[in-house]
Amino acid sequence: MSALVGSRVAALALAAGFAAALCAPARAAAVAEATGVATTGARSGAAAGATARGDPANGERIYGRCLACHALQYDRTGPRHCGLFGRKAGGVPGFDYSEAMKRSGIVWNAVTLDRFLANPLGTVPGTTMGYAGIADARERADLIAYLAKAKCGAAANQGR
């Protein structure tokens, strides 16, 4: 009996691995195309949102939710978002970040943004960003695409 159960488990594991292998190249290509950030291997969970080709126009609409605390060009309750890609978390000079964010070691890219936007408090425990996150992977992909294409002035890009 245990041999039968073991073979069924092995068959299911093989099928799951096969499905992941089939999906991984398309998923990685979608991330690279949408964001210009090359990725390797399959991603799951929160990172899956960054894999769909984002719609920057819809992302701009979604960014309206962020405007309560953030702006592209200047700091508000939260730091500015221009120059976000490639910047270390906690890296805008003069902004009063939480110690948790400064110590997080995150460098913002499509994958790290997707993970953070899905669950800010879970990704950086102790962050002062009191936002529950964006559960919808499509909305996260759209927002990330918008942030990647947002036009910024030279002053807004300081802090990389």
Tokens of 155: 């002053």
What is residue 152's predicted lDDT score, i.e. its pLDDT?
84
What is residue 160's predicted lDDT score, i.e. its pLDDT?
43
pLDDT (tens, 9 = 90+) of the chain, 160 residues, equals 444 434 343 333 333 333 333 333 333 343 344 444 433 333 334 444 444 589 999 999 999 999 999 999 999 999 999 999 999 999 999 999 999 999 999 999 999 999 999 999 999 999 999 899 999 999 999 999 999 999 887 655 454 4
What is residue 53's predicted lDDT score, i.e. its pLDDT?
83
Query: How many angstroms from the chain centroid is the CA of residue 28?
Result: 14
Best CA proximity match to 72, nearest among 126, 160, 148: 148
Torsion of CA 108, 51, 146, 85, to 10 degrees: 20
Q: How far apart are CA 16 and CA 131, in angstroms?
A: 34
Q: How far apart are CA 91 and CA 80, in angstroms?
A: 11
Instruction: Report CA Rg, the chain.
Output: 18
36: left (phi over 0), alpha (psi -120 to 50) or beta: left
Neighbour tally for 17: CB within 10 Å? 11
Q: How far apart are CA 50 and CA 27, in angstroms?
A: 9
Residue located via tokens 């990647």: 148
This model's pTM is above 0.75: no
What is residue 155's predicted lDDT score, i.e. its pLDDT?
52
Neighbour tally for 68: CB within 10 Å? 10
Please enumerate in sequence order all residues whose Cβ is within 8 A of that of 11, keeping only pairs 6 or more positions apart, or say none: none
Residue located via tokens 């559960």: 135
